[in-house]
Structures are given as structure tokens and as C-alpha cells.
Amino acid sequence: MKLWDCFATALRALLNNKLRSVLTMLGIMIGVAAVIAVLSLGRAQTSVVEQAFATLGSNLIYVMPREAGVGGMVGEATLTVEDAEAIARHAPSVRKVAPTAQTYAQVVAGSERLNSLIAGITPEAESVSNYVVAQGSFITDSSYRARSRVAVLGSEIARTLFGEMDPTGQTIRIGGRQFQVIGVLESRGMGFGVEDLRVYIPLSTFYVTVAGAQVSSRGNSVDMISVQVKSSSELQSAKQEITAILRSTHGIREGESNDFRVISVESVARQVTQVLGILQLILAGIAGISLLVGGIGIMNIMLVSVTERIREIGLRKAVGAKRRDILVQFLIEAATLGVCGGAVGVGLGWVIVKVMSIVATSAGFPFVAVVPGYAIALAAGVSIFIGLVSGLYPAVRAARLDPIESLRHE
């Protein structure tokens, strides 16, 4: 028997029972759609997170004070501007260093007044932290050296203070002192919106104007030192260099623990995407259970179908069908159920992904979900496989039927 005839026979049998065939496919359909949706949406989510981390800057290491848990002192001031300078000078793997100190202060512009986070930064912050200036300019070396009273606004606070007006050149009061707005930053985007609410001033100015606890007898402390490493391959060595430098400048003896933390953005990003990946796998696994149920449904219906068609099988054998012919006929029927269910499922999954993308985008959440090719290939493979596996037992039963008894079957 030619393969094409096997297909024709199987298709005719399925078409003879249209409703039943469609209902049988439903399980596979839903399963495949669910798996496709989970994989696609998961991938979109991962890429959103990756993008968010990319806006922070590449090859970044953050140095922060030790976590203030046990000691009870919030915001332990263990890092200083001198530490940042030491890292810049002595760590060979480091390209640039940008220390930051922050405090809350009242910001007044015209009749608008609000409490905002004021960040003291250095000109290096622009390239290290990937700040993009939307209007005006960033803090320059000269204004840093001159301790100028200039401020750069985050996009959100600029809108709050000035509305649609261009803030550059305007005067604001920070902690009662006059500053001139020289620039506005572009939005940092999803996940890091806090930075859009900050006011950036030169770190040198920070210490002589708004600084609180940062200025003490121990020197000018910073809340964070952002370090840009020369290349991603040097992240590890940079971490070691920084740790060694800070241990020695802080006079930490061997065996004593660090009073600071060194974290690379990449490692945090990797952890987050890893967790997301595991979550996606779990979700896809749950969706996959419905594929299993669909497979059981196919097997069930194929068994019913074999029982119903015992006489037909007997007749086919009498007119010359071999075991193999019967086996292939029923296997193709089952596989076709799987494949058709899978194909419709891919379409359904695609629709789900599109709808969710549209809903997310209209809700202000730029979420570009596409159905990845591997998901389609996977779905196709899995649904053929499920069809074949669930069809195997019924098909073997059909093929083994004795022609004489089958012909006599009522």
C-alpha cells in the first residue's frame, strides 16, 4: 500500500467523524497554544529585563557600603570620595569611576515644591551610567571643579516642576540654595524609573550645599561608587582589584570581613534572567501537562475507533491488507489528529501572544512578544510525537486483529 493511500484512508476516516476529530484535537490544541504563549511571553519578558539592565551601562560594577543590618546603623558611611579616587588610580582593569552621594532635600521651582532625592555625581557618571541628555548639557569638569550650583533634572521631575516648559536656564532652589538647571535627562525607562525622579548636581557642590551625614570628621562619604570595567572579561579581576584596594585603604586585616560590597550588574542580570528562565520552564511544564492530557484523549478515541471498525479492519484484511497497512493507517490517523491540533494550537498561541502584546502596549508597557521559530518547531514535533505515541497502542491492537473473528464481529 502506498503512503499516499494510507493518508487518504486516514483522512477520510477522520472526516467521517468531524466533530469527534475536532473534539479530540482540542486537548493538543490548548496544550500547544499554552506552551507557545508561555514561551513567547517569557522570552519577551526576558528581553525587556535584559534591555532594562543594558540601560544601566555595560561592564558595570557597583561598590556599596556593607549592608546595615546587624549594626543597626542605616546607611553606614564606609565609602569615601578618596576610595573612588584610589580605585580609579590603582585598579588596572578599571576604565572609569563615578561616585554618587544622595540625600533628600526640598526642591522648589516657582510655585512647585517637592521633596526629592538629590544625587551628587561626577562628570564621569554620564558615560559610566549611560545617562543620555535630552535637553541642555551634563555636568562638566569645570562646573565640577568650580563647585558650580548647577543641576541636571531627571525626566520625570522635570515634567513635574516645569510641565511642558523647557527647564534649562531656569532657576530652582534645592535645600534653600539657588541652582541653575543646565540639562534634562532622557527617561531611564522601565524598572529604573526612580532615577527619573532625581536631581543631579556636582558631587563637589553636593558636599558644600545639601549634604547631611555625608560630611563628617571621617571625610566626605559616598553612597555608591559605580565602576566601569575596561572589558567584560576583566569583570572578575576588577572585582578582586577593587576589593584589595578598599581593604588596604580601610585598613581591614586578614580574617576581618569587608565593610563594603562589590556587585557586578551582569551577575545580577544573570541571576534575574536565570530565575525568569526557571519560572518560564515551570509554566511551560504546567502547560505541557495539557499536552499529555490531549495525548490520552487521542489514545482513548483511537481505541474507540478501532473497536467500532473491527469489521472494517476484518474486511480490509480479507481483501489483502497486511498488518503493516492497518498499523500505518491508524498511526497516521492518530498523528494527523496530533498535527492538526498542534497547527491550530500554534495559531491560537500566536493570537494569544498578539492580543497580550497589544493589551500590554496600550497599557504603556512596551512589550514586543513574537512567537519564536523554535517554539513552532517544538510544538510541531511534540504534537506529531504525541499523536504517534498515543496512536501506537490502538494501531497495534487493530493490526493484530484476526480477520475471521473481525468479519464475524457484530
Partner 1 sequence: MLELENITKVYKAGQTEVHALRGISCRIESGEMVSIVGPSGSGKSTLMNIIGCLDKPTSGNYRLDGVEVDKLNDNQLAEIRNRKIGFVFQSFNLLSRTTALANVELPLVYSGVRNRRQRALQGLEAVGLAHRITHNPSELAGGEQQRVAIARALVNNPSLILADEPTGNLDTRTSQEIMLIFKRLNEQGMTIILVTHEPDIAAYTQRTIKLRDGRIEAS
Rounded to an integer, what distance in angstroms lies between the CA atom of residue 161 and that of residue 159? 6
Is residue 320 part of the contact set for partner 1 (CB under 8 A)?
yes
Q: Give the integer Cα–Cα distance in Å for 257 and 358.
A: 50
In the bound complex, what is the minimum distance in angstroms from residue 324's beta carbon to partner 1?
Answer: 8
* Cα torsion 347, 352, 355, 356: sign: negative
Q: List, in sequence order, every residue forming a beta bridge with 99; answer none if it has no partner.
A: 225
Q: Considering only residues 132, 282, 318, 377, which one is a binding residue for partner 1 as defined by CB under 8 A?
A: 318
Q: Does 86 bind partner 1 (CB under 8 A)?
A: no
Segment near partner 1 (CB under 8 A); pick from 5-13, 73-81, 148-156, 298-306: 5-13
11 binds partner 1 (CB under 8 A): no
Ramachandran region of residue 63, left (φ > 0), alpha (ψ -120 to 50) or beta?
beta
Position 272: which residue type?
V
Compute and round to an integer the Cα radius of gyration of the chain: 33
Instruction: By CB under 8 A, tell whether 307 contacts partner 1.
Output: no
CB of 316 to partner 1, least distance (A): 7
Beta carbon of residue 28, minimum distance to partner 1 (angstroms, whole number): 25
DSSP designation for 113: E
Q: Which of 312, 347, 348, 384 binds partner 1 (CB under 8 A)?
A: 312
Q: Is position 397 an interface residue for partner 1 (rule: CB under 8 A)?
A: no
Work out whether strand 199-202 and strand 112-121 pair parallel, antiparallel, or are unpaired. parallel
Residue 194 or 318: the one with the smaller Cβ distance to partner 1 is 318
325 binding partner 1? (CB under 8 A):
yes
Under the binding rule (CB under 8 A), the answer on residue 308 touching partner 1 is no
Query: Closest distance between partner 1 and the C-beta of residue 295, in Å?
Result: 27
Beta-carbon contacts of residue 41 (< 8 Å; ≥ 6 apart): 353, 356, 369
> Distance (Å, rounded) from C-alpha 312 to C-alpha 302?
14
Specify whether the CB–CB gap between 125 and 98 falls below 8 A: yes
3-state secondary structure of 101: strand
Q: Which is nearer to partner 1, 384 or 407 (CB)?
A: 407
Minimum Å gap between C-beta 7 and partner 1 is 12
Q: Per CB under 8 A, which region of 40-48, 168-176, 266-274, 309-317 contacts partner 1?
A: 309-317
The answer to the question of residue 49 lying near partner 1 (CB under 8 A) is no
182 CB-contact burial (10 Å; exposed 0-12 / middle 13-18 / buried 19+): buried
Residue number, 204 or 406, with CB nearest to partner 1: 406
Question: Residue 326 burial (CB < 10 Å; 0-12/13-18/19+)?
Answer: buried
395, with CB counted inside 10 A (0-12, 13-18, 19+), is buried
- Among 11, 190, 315, 396, the residue binding partner 1 under the rule CB under 8 A is 315
- Total residues contacting partner 1 by CB under 8 A comes to 23
The DSSP H or E segment spanning 98 is strand 94-109
By beta-carbon proximity to partner 1, the closer residue of 315 and 380 is 315
Shortest distance, CB of residue 332 to partner 1, whole angstroms? 14
CA dist 392 and 11 (Å) reads 17
Q: Which of 147, 173, 323, 354 binds partner 1 (CB under 8 A)?
A: 323
Residue 1 lies near partner 1 (rule: CB under 8 A): yes
Give which of 281, 212, 291 is closest to 33, Cα–Cα.
Answer: 291
| CB of residue 404 to partner 1, shortest distance in Å | 5
Rule CB under 8 A: choose which of 150, 161, 321, 375 binds partner 1: 321
Using CB under 8 A as the binding rule, whether residue 311 contacts partner 1 is answered as: yes
- Binding of partner 1 by 64 (CB under 8 A): no
Q: Are 116 and 197 in contact (CB under 8 A)?
A: yes
Asked whether position 317 contacts partner 1 by CB under 8 A, the answer is: yes
- Interface residues toward partner 1, by CB under 8 A: 1-2, 5, 9, 12, 16, 311-312, 314-325, 403-404, 407
